Amino acid sequence: MTSIFCVLRATVTAFVVLAGIIVLFLMYHKSFPSLKCHPSPAHLRRLAKQANLRITPLVTKQPSRPAVTHHTDKPVVLLWFWPEDKKFDLQDCKTLFKIDSCHLTDDRSFYSRAHGVLVFHRAIRDDLSNLPTSPRARFQRWIWFNMDSPTNTRRISGIKGLFNLTLSYRKDADIHVRWRLALKKNTDEDFVLPRKERLLCWIVDSADLDTKSTERFSYYRELVKHIEVDVFNSSSVEFSQGVNYFLTISSCKFYLSFEDSLHRDYITETFNGPLVAGTVPIVLGPPRRNYEDFAPGASFIHVNDFPDAATLAEFLLTLDKDNRAYMRYFNWRRFFTARRHLTEENREFAHAICQACHHIGTSKAYRVVPDLYKWLLQ
Ligand SMILES: *[C@@H]1O[C@H](CO)[C@@H](O)[C@H](O)[C@H]1NC(C)=O
């Protein structure tokens, strides 16, 4: 009995050991070759590219600051003041302009690690007491954010040597903000003139019409003696919210794109509006050749093309009767498109702020602006 039991035990043991060896061998055989064949990252990337996939690297750098995990690779741009308290969703840069090259924030606790600090000029106190006080990091650049013309720019002594970059409508600013015409990709699309119900229009704060004496109002008062102008009050709800803005302009054959002050490059949305809407802008601002830096010469009518307002009015009335001549003002549309600017009040500064984000995310140049006002006034 004992010997049979012994033989049986030995057999079972041998069987178990053999099975173990077989399992081990199979495991080794299965895992080893696959280890050897593990594709290189480059190969993976190539495969992913073929399959149109995005690959996240296996080894991710441990973020040093958990609060900003997904932003560590992007420079931080700190919006020091909300301009005129007009707050918008900072994600708009990504959704509206496809700008995603910086981590944009209004959280001042990011100050010490901000690569760019965006400072809205109008909000700076005369004694500079609301500017950052702690020393700035070597990599940090302060951006002077001012979309106003020199006429409307308050002089603050003491900000002369503070800034590294300028953000302005000026062509020679470090960050040049403007709604530009874009080259058209598809040139055989035909332009259809919107339905016109009015001859000449202007959206303006109507409280200023009879009181202000700047160029645009004196010219307007001269013009209405010779031609009818439909004036829409810009401070009414329908315009301050941006509703009906493009719609109203498109219902007019001509639109008064009169700037509030006359300075080089100071050509604002009041010019872009009619270009977008399919209306001919009548411009008052810098000289014609300056407009031609930004738009084709045959896309607008300049008040200085005429000796006086009476002659301009006469010309507009003849164009009103000559459709072929009128339509020539839209020939540029075969090659360019104008982009709708944002008209919602709270998004007034979104375009500029997003441009700053784009700039800091893509350019690292070292710079100091020695004298802001000298630059602005030249
Ligand atoms: C920014 O300007 C300040 C003040 O002029 C200067 O001290 C600093 O070195 C500049 N920094 C950069 C990164 O350009």
Please name the amino acid found at residue 334: R
pLDDT at 138: 93
Judged against a pLDDT cut of 90, whether residue 52 lies above it is answered with no
Out of 77, 113, 164, 174, mutate this one to test ligand 1's pocket (max ligand atoms within 8 Å of CB): namely 164
Pairwise CA distance, residues 344 & 240, whole Å:
7
Judged against a pLDDT cut of 70, whether residue 47 lies above it is answered with no
Q: 166 alpha carbon to ligand 1 midpoint, in Å?
A: 13
Please state the separation of Cα 121 from the chain's center in Å.
19
Region 265-287 average pLDDT: 98
Pairwise CA distance, residues 137 & 341, whole Å:
35
Out of 363, 366, 368, mutate this one to test ligand 1's pocket (max ligand atoms within 8 Å of CB): namely 368
Closest by Cα among 306, 21, 3, 356 to 163? 356
Question: Which atom of ligand 1 sits closest to the CA of residue 163?
Answer: 2
Judge residue 378's burial from the number of C-beta atoms within 10 Å of its C-beta, 0-12 exposed, 13-18 middle, 19 or more buried: exposed
Show the beta-strand stretches assigned E in the chain: 76-79, 103-105, 116-120, 141-145, 165-168, 175-176, 182-183, 198-204, 230-233, 252-258, 280-284, 301-302, 336-337
Q: Provide the percentage of residues in the chain whose pLDDT is more than 90.
A: 67
Beta carbons of 168 and 197 less than 8 angstroms apart: no
- Whose alpha carbon is nearest atom 1 of ligand 1? 164
Q: 139 alpha carbon to ligand 1 midpoint, in Å?
A: 8
Q: Which of 28-32, 233-237, 310-314, 317-321 has the lowest mean pLDDT?
A: 28-32
pLDDT at 186: 79
Pairwise CA distance, residues 210 & 159, whole Å:
37
Q: List residues near ligand 1 (CB under 6 A).
A: 141, 161, 164, 366-368
Region 46-62 average pLDDT: 40
pLDDT at 347: 95
Render pLDDT for 10-28 as a digit per residue (tens, 0 to 9). Answer: 665 666 656 655 555 555 5
Q: 159 alpha carbon to ligand 1 midpoint, in Å?
A: 13
Beta carbons of 213 and 242 less than 8 angstroms apart: no
> Please, where in the chain does CATH 3.40.50.11660 lie?
182-340
> Which architecture does CATH list for 182-340?
3-Layer(aba) Sandwich (3.40)
Question: Which atom of ligand 1 sits closest to the CA of residue 367?
Answer: 14
- Tokens linked to 93: 């840069």
Q: 113 alpha carbon to ligand 1 midpoint, in Å?
A: 15
Beta carbons of 154 and 373 less than 8 angstroms apart: no
Closest by Cα among 357, 372, 343, 344 to 79? 357
